[in-house]
Amino acid sequence: MIRTDEIREEWLEPEAEPKRPFRRTMRLGALFALVLALGFAGGLTVGAAGGTRVLSNLPLIGDGLNATPDPSVDFTEFWKVYNTLNSKFVPSSASSTIPTNEEKLWGAIQGLAESFGDPYTVFLPPEEAQMFKDDISGNFNGVGMEIGINDDGVLTVIAPLKGTPAARAGILSGDILIAIDGKSTEGMSTDQAVKLIRGPKGTNVVFTIFRSGKTSEITVTRDTIQVPTIEYVNDPKTGVYTIELYEFTANSVTLFDQALADFRASGSKKLIIDLRGNPGGYLDAAVDISSRFLPRGEVVVTEDYKGKERNLVHRSTGNSGVPADTQIVVLINQGTASASEILAGALNDHERATLIGTRSFGKGSVQELITIGRAALKVTVARWLTPAGVSISDGGLTPDITAERSPEDFASGNDPQRQRAIEFLTTGK
Question: Which amino acid, residue 323?
Answer: P
CA dihedral sign, ordered 172, 177, 178, 181: positive
The region, left, alpha or beta by phi > 0 then psi within -120 to 50, assigned to residue 359 is: beta
Q: How far is CA 48 from the centre of its chain?
A: 3
**Secondary-structure breakdown of the chain: helix, strand, coil percentages, each rounded to the nearest 5:** 25, 30, 50
Residue among 289, 343, 308, 365 nearest 43 (CA): 365
332 class by beta-carbon count within 10 Å (0-12 exposed, 13-18 middle, 19+ buried): buried
Q: Would you tell me the crossing angle of helices 283-291 and 339-349 to the nearest 10 degrees?
A: 30
Question: Which amino acid, residue 71?
Answer: P
161 secondary structure, DSSP code:
P
Specify whether the CB–CB gap between 32 and 158 falls below 8 A. yes
β-pairing, 240-245 vs 230-235, is: antiparallel
Where helices occur in 138-209 by DSSP H, the ranges are 165-169, 190-197
Beta bridge partners of 211: 214
Q: Which residues contact 412 (CB under 8 A, 6 or more apart)?
A: none
Residues 313 and 23: their CA atoms lie apart, in Å, by 15
CA dihedral sign, ordered 291, 293, 297, 303: negative
* SS3 state at 80: helix
DSSP string for 396-409 = -PPPSEE----HHH
Q: Which residues are catalytic?
A: 338, 349, 363
Beta bridge partners of 7: 31
Residue among 308, 283, 337, 387 nearest 53 (CA): 283
